[in-house]
Chain A
C-alpha cells in the first residue's frame, strides 16, 4: 500500500484554525480598545487630562445614563434621525434613477455633467448659511443640507456605473433580442449595483456630516444642538457622549449598507467585496 507522509487538513482541523484566528483577531481588538480606555481613565484620574475639557470614560458613561432618562434627549435624537433619513431618502430616490438615466442617455449626461462636477467640487456644508436663509432654523434646512451632501455622492458613482457596463453583456442581451426594458433591468441596473452601493456608503457619511454641521451651525433642536449647549456649559462629559452617539450612528449605518451589499452581491467573489 502506498502511503503519503503529508495529510490534507481535515475540515475540522481547518475549521478550528479559522476559529482560532477569528477569536485571536477579536481578542486582540478587545484588548486594544479596553487597554486604551483604561489608560485614558487612569490619566484622567491622575490629573494628566483636564476633565473640565475632556471627560474620562466613566464620566461620559455616567452622563450618558442620565441623558437617556431625559425626554428632551430623545426628542433631540428623533429630530436628528428624522433629518438624516428624510434627506438621505430623497437623495437615494432622486439620485439613483437620475443617475441611471444620465448614465444611459449620453446627451442627458453631457447636460448634467458640468453641474455634477460643480456641486461635487463645492463643499456642500458651505451652503448652510444660504440654506438657513431659504429654509429657516427648523429641520428643513438640515434635510436640505443632508440631501445636498448625499445626492451627489449617490448620483456620481451611479452614472459612472452605467457608463462602464461591460460591452459584452450588452451584446448578449441584444443578441438574444432583449427588450429595452429587460436590457435595463437585467443588465444595466444589476451591473451598476456595486457602484450604487459605493454611492450609498459615501452618501451616508456625507449625510451624517450634514446633520452634525447643520445642527452645530444653526438649529433649535437635535443632537448637534445638545453637543453645542454642553460645550457652552463646559459639560465635557455630556458633549463627548453626543459625539459618541454620532459615531455609533455611523457604525450602524455602515453595517446596514454591508447587509444591503451582501443581499445584492452574492454573485461577487468574496475577495472583491468591499
Chain B
C-alpha cells in the first residue's frame, strides 16, 4: 500500500532483458527505490545508457519490470500518467489539433469533443493559431510544446518527460525550461523529468536524482533548495553553481575514461 500524499512509489525496481543480437541477459537497472510526492518536480540525471529512460518507460507501461513494484496514485479524474516523448514523436499525418487530441481519442472520446477539450491546452502551451498546422511546419520548440500539450490533455497525475528538450538549440531550450515551469505551476502536476543536462535538472526541480552508469541504481538524491519562482537569472547564483558542481562530480565519477575534476586539477 502506498503512503498518503505520494504520486509515485517505486520499490526494488529491477530490469534485465535478453539482447536480441548476442542472446545474453543484460542488466539495465540494478535497483531503483523512489518516492515522488504529489505536485513535486523530480529530475533524474545520469550518464547515457544508465537506464533512466528505461525507468520512465517502465512507469509508462511500455516496458516490463523484471522485479519490484511501482505504485501510482489513482486520481479521481483523468489519467494516472502520460508521457512527453523525446524528439516530440508527433504524428506527421495529423494537424497540431489532432495530435493534441490524440490521447483523448484513445480513451474513446468522440473526435469533435476531443478537439474541443484539446483547445485550452494548445492555448496553455502557447500554440494558439497553429492548430491546423502539420508538425513539419513547426519549429523544434513548437513541436515540443505540442508534445507537452498532448500529454496534458489527458489530465495525468504524473507527467513523464523523456529528455524533451534534448534536440533543441540552447536558447530555445532555456525558453522552454521557463515555459515548462510556468505550465507546471498552472496545471498543477507532478513531473518526473529525465535529462542529461545538469543545469536543466537543477533549474526545474525540487529534487535531482543522480543515477549510476549501467546497470542503473540511485547514487544520490539531492534536494534543490533554491526558492521558487525561479527565473533564468537563478542559473548564475552561487548556490546554483555549487549544486551543479556537486552533481557534476557525481555524474562524471561514473564516466570511465574521462578525467574527473580532481584529476584535471
Contacts and interface: CB of A to CB of B under 8 A. Distances in A.
A and B are interacting partners: yes
B22 interface: no
B134 A172 contact: no
B107 A177 contact: yes
A182 B106 contact: yes
Interface in B125-161: 134-136, 154
Given A173-B106, A175-B82, A269 B136 contact: yes
B61 A175 contact: yes
Contacts, number: 54
Contacts of A220: none
Contacts of B92: 267-268
Interface in A162-193: 168-169, 171-179, 182, 186-187, 190-191, 193
B60 interface: yes
Contact of A176 (B87, B135, B154): B154
A22 interface: no
Interface string A178-220: 1100100011001101000000000000000000000000000
A190 B60 CA distance: 25
Q: Is the interface of A mostly helix, strand, loop or mixed?
A: helix
B91 A176 contact: no
A175 B60 contact: yes
Nearest to B57: A171
A186 B60 contact: no
A16 interface: no
A190 B136 contact: no
A266 interface: yes
Nearest to A166: B89
Interface residues of A, number: 21
A268 B136 contact: yes
Contacts of A267: 92-95, 134-136
B250 interface: no
B106 A193 contact: no
Contacts of A191: 93
Contacts of B91: 169, 172, 186-187, 190
Interface string B44-86: 0000000000000000111000000000000000000011010
B85 A179 contact: no
A177 B89 contact: no
Q: Which of A173, A175, A186, A269 has the most CB of B within 10 A?
A: A175
A174 B83 CA distance: 11
B89 A171 contact: yes
A191 B93 CA distance: 8
Nearest to B147: A172
Interface string B87-115: 10101111100000011011100000000
A119 B169 CA distance: 50
A176 B136 contact: no
A267 B62 CA distance: 27
A266 B132 CA distance: 11
11 contacts: A168-B87, A169-B89, A174-B61, A175-B62, A175-B82, A177-B106, A177-B107, A178-B106, A182-B106, A190-B91, A268-B136
| CB-CB nearest 7 A-B residue pairs | A176-B106, A168-B89, A190-B93, A178-B106, A269-B136, A176-B103, A267-B134
